[in-house]
Amino acid sequence: MTTNAFLTDKTVLVTGANRGLGRALVDAALDHGAKRVYAGARQPFTHPDERVVPLTLDVTDIEQIKLAAKTVEELDVLINNAGVASYAEIGDRAELERMLAVNLYGSYDVSHALRHQLLASQGTLVNVLSTSAVAAVPVLPGYSISKAAAYSLTQVLRALLTPKGVRVHAVLAGPLDTEMSKDLDIPKTAPEAVAAEIMAAVADGVEDIFPDAGAAGLAAGWFDAPATAMQRELAGMIAA
């Protein structure tokens, strides 16, 4: 077993945990010695490891979110992973709203509901985004817009929560070999490899994480870029 201190004997919640990257993140947390992993899913599932606690959690259902926040009394690491994508054209407002409901408001509502637990534990918040948050994919308009908004949310939460002891990370992932990207005939990275990279980067304190080859091009120069410097400068207004 490999262990990362931020996970060893810690309690973790992963949304969208039933398949794809979410399932790989659950297994990675277990591999790193997590004490308990809440596996949030619209259809809860059983996992062979007894440390996994199934949690009914549709991230667009505010009542389920409130109930989850009551059930989860202690939490060290929250991973907002649940997501949806759509090729619907930009004129399809209903699809844009569906993307925003899951990819933006889902993460917003779950993070808000669990903030007391994260503040109490001086914990870690991880928002799974996409390279489309910073370089829009025009054939995925609603998805790109929602991920860009969720990246902005992540920056705001980072500025507000870091001074209070909660670390906030963005995962800017490239194409993954999951159901979501099954129709894309391009190089994709296995979710297990991406999950391992995310855990290693969080342990190393990397705030914006580029966990795969498809995202590597963006990572080059990112941490010295003017936009990144300005993010830090503006965050400093809160810290002050």
Write the DSSP assignment of 75-140 as a string of letters.
Answer: -SEEEE---------TT-HHHHHHHIIIIIIIHHHHHHHTHHHHHHHT-EEEEE--GGGTS--TTS
Contacts to ligand NAP from residues 24-43, by CB under 6 A: 42-43
With binding defined as CB under 6 A, does residue 16 bind ligand NAP?
A: yes
Residue 6 or 105: the one with the smaller Cβ distance to ligand NAP is: 105
Give whichever of 211 and 226 is closer to ligand NAP, judged by the CB atom.
Answer: 211
Q: What contacts 97, CB < 8 A, 6 or more positions away?
A: none
Task: By CB under 6 A, tell whether 141 contacts ligand NAP.
Answer: no
Q: Which of residues 198-237 bind ligand NAP (CB under 6 A)?
A: none
Catalytic residue among 10, 38, 105, 147: 147
Catalytic residue of the set 38, 143, 151, 188:
143
143 in active site: yes
Q: Name the residue nearer to ligand NAP (CB basis): 210 or 237.
A: 210
Binding mask 101-140 for ligand NAP (x = CB under 6 A): -x-------------------------x-x----------
d(CA 109, CA 101): 10
Interface with ligand NAP, residue 148, by CB under 6 A: no
Establish if 60 lies at the interface with ligand NAP (CB under 6 A). yes
State the residues that interact with ligand NAP by CB under 6 A.
15-16, 18-22, 42-43, 57-60, 81-84, 102, 128, 130, 173, 175-176, 178-181, 191
Mind telling me the catalytic residues? 143, 147
